[in-house]
Structure 1
Amino acid sequence: MLKERDLIAVLPAKDLARARDFYRDVIGLDNPEDMEGNLLYRCGNGTGFLLYETENAGSAKNTQMGWATNNIEAEMEDLRSRGVVFEEYDFPGLKTENGVATTEGGKSAWFTDSEGNILNIFQRR
């Protein structure tokens, strides 16, 4: 049954070497596992994501992956110190202030990786 299986996100990268540098140097992830030329990163609780090379990277206009945190401000401070710039949004139902959107469900912030993929960190209430 799929509901009992680990879930792995899949992200596109135009340049795998550049993406590897970003996820190591900016995000702070350990070395990925080589999966037949693709990069598999492991995160908490059995989660992870696969980066594969394609010219289509950065073309999605939606959040592609996110990390849950217990302290979004500390995570943002750390990521900013590594060069991450958080997105600012202002449209019906969502407005950020200093990169953070606060809703009934919690707080969220978005940024892009080296390949133009939209990533997210969030803190539930």
Structure 2
Amino acid sequence: MLAKSPIDVMLTATDLAAAKRFYGDMIGLEVLIETEELVTFRCGGDSRLVLTRSTVRTDEQQTKASWRVADVADEITDLRARGDKVAEYDEPGLRTIDGVADVGFALVAWFVDPGGNTIGLLQFKDQGLA
């Protein structure tokens, strides 16, 4: 049953107004629901991104969500044009070149939202996985 149901990604934000501006203006998502405690955005297909108010900013660097994209380089060019900072990594096992890392099965880029959430952009090399 759940395998056929949509799922929403839920992230936290200490400043919902800043998060709303970031995802609405910077990323270009449409607001579906807004209350004092959450903002829900429409994403591709029937997916949604929900930001809930939190009193604590996340410090975890792990990827919290990823968009599947057709061309990661085009997406980061667009993000940079809107003023977003794409993350750069140069660590053992993870190195980006102009914001993009080749992780074997995919090309990946990341950015960090105002709540400290690391968000990925994922371009599968095998289009059958996309």
User: Equivalent residue of 1:97, what SS?
Assistant: coil
- For structure 2, which runs of at least 5 residues remain unmatched after alignment? 126-130
Distance 2:6 2:18 in 1: 27
User: Equivalent residue of 2:114, what SS?
Assistant: coil
Identity %: 35
Find the counterpart in structure 1 of residue 41 from structure 2: 41
User: Equivalent residue of 1:123, what SS?
Assistant: strand
- For structure 1, which runs of at least 5 residues remain unmatched after alignment? none
Give aligned pairs, total.
125
1:57 to partner: Cα distance: 2.7
**Equivalent pair of 2:100/2:108 in contact (CA under 8 Å):** yes
Question: Are 1:68 and 2:68 matched, yes or no?
Answer: yes
User: Equivalent residue of 1:46, what SS?
Assistant: coil
Question: Are 1:114 and 2:104 matched, yes or no?
Answer: no
Q: Bigger shift: 87-96 or 5-14?
A: 87-96
User: Equivalent residue of 1:50, what SS?
Assistant: strand
Find the counterpart in structure 1 of residue 13 from structure 2: 13
Distance 1:104 1:59 in 2: 27
* AA in 2 matched with 1:34: E
User: Equivalent residue of 1:74, what SS?
Assistant: helix
Distance 1:84 1:41 in 2: 18
* AA in 1 matched with 2:38: N
Distance 1:88 1:80 in 2: 13
* AA in 2 matched with 1:104: G
* AA in 1 matched with 2:3: K
Distance 2:38 2:90 in 1: 36
Distance 2:52 2:71 in 1: 30
Distance 2:14 2:45 in 1: 28
1:85 to partner: Cα distance: 1.1
Find the counterpart in structure 1 of residue 95 from structure 2: 95
Distance 2:40 2:80 in 1: 24
Distance 1:121 1:84 in 2: 13
TM-score under structure 2 normalisation?
A: 0.88
